[in-house]
Amino acid sequence: MGDSELILCCFIACILFLGVNGENPYRYITWKVTYGDIYPLGVKQQGILINGQFPGPHIDAVTNDNLIISVYNYLNEPFLISWNGVQQRRNSWQDGVSGTNCPIRPGKNFTYVLQVKDQIGSFYYFPSLLFHKAAGGYGAIRIWSRPKIPVPFPSPAGDFTVLAGDWYKRNHYVLRRLLDSGRNLPFPDGLLINGRGWNGYTFTVDPGRTYRFRVSNIGLTTSINFRIQGHKLKLIEVEGSHTLQNTYTSFDIHLGQSCSFLVTADQIPQDYYVVASTRFTRSVLTTTAVLHYSNSKRGVSGPVPGAPTIQIAPSVMQARSIRWNLTASGPRPNPQGSYHYGLITPSRTIMLSNSAPYINGKQRYAVNGVSYVPADTPLKIADYFKIPGVFNLGSIPTWPPSGNNAYFQTSVMAANFREYVEIVFQNWEDTVQSWHIDGYSFFVVGMNGGQWTPASRSSYNLRDTVARCTTQVYPRSWTAIYMALDNVGMWNIRSENWARQYLGQQFYLRVYSPANSWRDELPIPKNALLCGRARGRHTRPF
């Protein structure tokens, strides 16, 4: 084949590829990332703003939309944004973590090109480098169903976002120095709702109407409990899955998790507390916003409604009550439950055990005895260019080793495209863990106390458990998930406790297809930033 024929074939392939996505809308977004003064707890801090906003602007998209997000970094440090819950189908190139992307250098920009392929639901974005998450730079992602695909509830009168989580008065670089010195973070100074402290944010509703509240725990270290004074919370969605519409008076939301409730304004017209408080902490932090009836002439009053604090059992029971709505459509016009996850036998079991070792006299965190250290070159880029010495497959075991020894490693676990795996998160520590897997939605089939054994499978929910991307593991307990490895790429598996993630409780899962086909994975982006040992190389001509 001559050069001209090769170019023609490549051009036709590009046209065919672009044609597949061409029917879906493109949404163009430009963000300027800057520092700015913020006062979330009444103390002046250096915050990270997006287009001058803290929190950052919402991203609104419809299933299968293509998002073109140009990010300009005006900080004095490298910067990356990741997209918590967006699956990046065939496209880990856009995941925005240190294992997949070179950072955006100060004064430079990068354009993310991603598609919310076959997804609906409530998610968020956040800065993934250098403990920037403690300074802001986060915001909500709302992915709406296509107009012709029905949702299992009437259209609400309004759609509210609640970004809640713990916060420190110290600037992010001070917290980072604490961690780098081998110490842990202190207890947080407070909680925020949408970037504001006590009664600092108001949600206005009309009497008798029903509203959707999308709640995400975007904090650093603690689970929260969410509730609205005098009102019921009807759960309708968890991280992209429609759920059975159980009703709760309060709801636990663990680090990194997102969910949606319907709330009906069916009380006496006045103002009511919207409350978030810490869970499983001896000292309980609480903050409030205001639910304001549009015809209210009376402000909030009475005590802030209480909720469980350190009790584990109610939280476990609540977690088990979350079930998939098997008759509802997901992003496509077919029932969510048509995928019979429980009838498939996993090809292998992976057990992941968290620990808090001291290595060289400093506090670290580990998975299966390995404390992750970032490489000098993003793993995905090193894999593409076949650069040796950046990482080794098998550098983290698939089962916890005996003993308490731990070591540093750029840990990458090998997996094959289209495997169906069982992953067990085993937690022998006295704190709640929260685990997230990029690129996937998985089925939380079981959770219980003590040591997981093969006999534990008898308690699995193999019919209607929910599919999500972040799951909690209670103290001295286990949580098991089933996951179909149907998304080729280099995917981050991490603790959503940001101090633990920063100090090594994470690794990467390399899901590999030998076909080297665009059908399985998109090519390296033409605009991909190259750094480390990939500096000076070239991506592709078109």
Total-model pTM = 0.94
User: Which string of DSSP letters, residue by residue, matches 96-150?
Assistant: -STTT---B-TT-EEEEEEE-TT--EEEEEEE-STTGGGGB--EEEEEEPPTTS-
Interior angle at CA 305, CA 303 and CA 309, nearest 5: 120
Round to whole Å and give the CA distance between 462 and 428.
Answer: 25
Q: How far apart are CA 35 and CA 48, in angstroms?
A: 5
Would you place residue 229 in the very low, low, confident or very high pLDDT band (cuts 50, 70, 90)?
very high
Q: What's the mean pLDDT in 387-412?
A: 95
> What is the count of structural domains for the chain?
3
Q: Which pLDDT does position 245 carry in this prediction? A: 98
> In the listed set 122, 144, 166, which residue is the last one of a domain according to the structure?
144
Classify residue 495: in a domain, yes or no: yes
Residue 17 belongs to some domain of the structure: no
Same structural domain for residues 125 and 193? Answer: no
Residue, of 340 and 14, whose pLDDT is higher: 340
Surface-to-core class of residue 305, CB atoms within 10 Å of its CB (0-12 exposed, 13-18 middle, 19+ buried): middle
Domain check: are 203 and 274 in the same one?
yes
Residue 253 lies in a domain: yes
Between 148 and 390, the more confident residue is 390
Instruction: Identify whether the C-beta of residue 202 lies closer than 8 Å to the C-beta of residue 289.
Output: yes
A 10 A CB-CB count for 49 gives 21
Domain-embedded: residue 507: yes
Share of the chain above pLDDT 90, in %: 92
Q: How confident is the model at residue 23 (pLDDT cuts 50, 70, 90)?
A: confident
Are 287 and 381 within one domain?
no
Q: Are residues 163 and 64 in the same domain?
A: no
Say what percent of the chain tops pLDDT 70: 96
Q: DSSP label at 27?
A: E
Q: What is the pLDDT of residues 31-57, one digit of tens each?
A: 999 999 999 999 999 999 999 999 999
Kindly indicate the confidence band of residue 397, based on its pLDDT and cuts at 50, 70 and 90. Answer: very high
For the chain, give the mean pLDDT: 94
pLDDT recorded at residue 248:
98
- Single residue among 255, 289, 312 that ends a domain in this structure: 312
Query: In the predicted model, what is the mean pLDDT of residues 328-351?
Result: 91
- Does 164 lie in the same domain as 140? no
- The tens digit of pLDDT for each residue in 466-524 reads 999 999 999 999 999 999 999 999 999 999 999 999 999 999 999 999 998 999 999 99
pLDDT of 337: 82
* Averaged pLDDT, 521-539: 96
290 and 355 belong to one structural domain: no
pLDDT for position 338: 81
pLDDT over 70 at 8, yes or no: no
pLDDT of residue 19: 39
Greater confidence (19 vs 531) lies with 531
Q: Which residue has the higher pLDDT, 357 or 148?
A: 357
Residue 219 pLDDT greater than 90, yes or no: yes
Domain boundary among 91, 114, 144: 144
Place 146 in a pLDDT band, splitting at 50, 70 and 90: very high
Query: Which residues, 6 or more positions from 214, have their beta carbon under 8 angstroms from its beta carbon?
Result: 122, 140, 142, 159, 160, 161, 162, 258, 259, 260
Averaged pLDDT for residues 347-362: 97
Residues 387-397, mean pLDDT to the nearest whole number:
96
Environment class of 109 (CB within 10 Å of its CB; exposed 0-12, middle 13-18, buried 19+): middle
pLDDT tens digits for 197-212? 999 999 999 999 999 9
Do both 282 and 363 map to the same domain? Answer: no
Q: Is residue 516 part of a domain?
A: yes
Q: Give backbone dihedrals phi and psi of 135, rounded to 5 degrees, phi first.
A: -115, 0
CB 392 within 8 A of CB 361: no
Q: What is the longest distance spanned by two Cα atoms in the chain?
A: 81
Under a CB-based contact definition with an 8 Å cutoff, are residues 276 and 191 in contact?
yes
Q: Mind listing the pLDDT tens digit for each residue in 81-106? A: 999 999 999 999 999 999 999 999 99
> What mean pLDDT is predicted for residues 435-441?
98
93 vs 541: CA distance, rounded Å = 17
Domain identity same for 130 and 211: no
Q: Within this chain, do residues 208 and 288 fall inside the same structural domain, yes or no?
A: yes
Flag whether pLDDT at 173 surpasses 50: yes
Query: Nearest-CA neighbor of 355 among 319, 393, 413, 402?
Result: 402
- The answer to whether residues 513 and 522 touch, using CB atoms and an 8 Å cutoff, is no
Residue 2: per-residue pLDDT: 47
186-208 burial by CB neighbour count: b if 16+ within 10 A, else e?
Answer: eebebbbbbbbbbbbbebebeee
455 class by beta-carbon count within 10 Å (0-12 exposed, 13-18 middle, 19+ buried)? exposed
4 pLDDT exceeds 80?
A: no
Same domain membership, residue 375 and residue 266 = no
> Residues 506, 479: one domain?
yes
pLDDT tens by residue, 151-164 = 999 999 999 999 99
Query: Given phi > 0 = left and psi -120 to 50 = alpha, else beta, which region is 195?
Result: left
Residues 173, 133 share a domain: no
What was the pLDDT predicted at 7?
39
What is the rounded CA–CA span in Å between residue 387 and residue 370? 22
In a domain, 2, yes or no: no
The arithmetic mean of pLDDT across residues 366-395, rounded, is: 97
Phi-psi region of 404 (alpha: psi -120 to 50; beta: other; left: phi over 0): alpha
pLDDT at 437 over 60: yes
Four-CA torsion 468, 472, 477, 481, nearest 10 degrees = 10
Is residue 35 a part of any domain in this protein?
yes
Other Cβ atoms less than 10 A from the Cβ of 77: the count is 16
- Tell me what pLDDT residue 334 has: 84
Domain hosting 35: range is 26-144
Whether 13 shows a pLDDT value over 90: the answer reads: no
Evaluate if residue 280 carries a pLDDT over 50: yes
Q: Residue 227 is part of a domain; what is its CATH number?
A: 2.60.40.420
Q: Is the pLDDT of residue 78 over 80?
A: yes
Q: Distance of CA 181 to CAs 37, 178, 184, 380, Å? A: 27, 5, 9, 29
Q: Is residue 431 part of a domain?
A: yes
Residue 426 has pLDDT above 70, yes or no: yes
User: CA of 260: how far to CAs of 150, 166, 237, 388, 479, in Å?
Assistant: 17, 20, 5, 45, 23
Looking at residue 356, what is its pLDDT?
97
